[in-house]
Amino acid sequence: MKTLKINHTPVSLLSLVLVAMLALASCTGKTQKENSNDMTENDLSDDFEQQREELVEKLESMEEDIDDSIDDLKDKMNIDEGPVERNFEEAVDNLEAKKKDVSDALAEVKSSSKDNWNEVKSDVNRAYDNMASELKETKEDIKQKFDEMSNS
């Protein structure tokens, strides 16, 4: 058996080592990148879940607030029937419509996914701000009407 003798120069050895290092580095880089992507996806998933839960809690709180307002209004209507009841039936209907809007927004948030989260969050936050403003105005209007009726 003949042995083939190859004479390597320092430049050829250095080139071979550099090629091996680049090949190794590129393989390692992909693994780190994949790990980084996995961590980013996990972070996004956790962030999505946390944001969704916060928005659900905010909407549920508004829903409870509306329920309490409806109950208070119905209690006031039961105290004095007639003109008081007629004046506040519209307010109760208005509150119940707002509650439906909140319930719809809550259902949209609960059924959202990571893919549509940013759009849902933006839409629902905008709707929440509008609903909160309208609810505040409705409560102030109810209070004013009740005060007017009480002073009559």
31 occurs within a structural domain: no
Q: What is the pLDDT of residue 39?
A: 47
25 occurs within a structural domain: no
> How many separate domains does the chain show?
1
pTM of the model: 0.64
Return the percentage of the chain with pLDDT > 90, whole number. 38
Condensed to tens digits (0 to 9), the pLDDT of residues 43-92 reads: 657 789 999 999 999 999 999 999 998 888 888 777 656 666 666 788 88
114 occurs within a structural domain: yes
8 occurs within a structural domain: no
Residue 56's CB is within 10 A of a number of other CB atoms, namely 16
141 occurs within a structural domain: yes
Would you say the C-alpha torsion 42, 120, 66, 103 has a positive or negative sign? negative
Residue 114's CB is within 10 A of a number of other CB atoms, namely 13
13 occurs within a structural domain: no
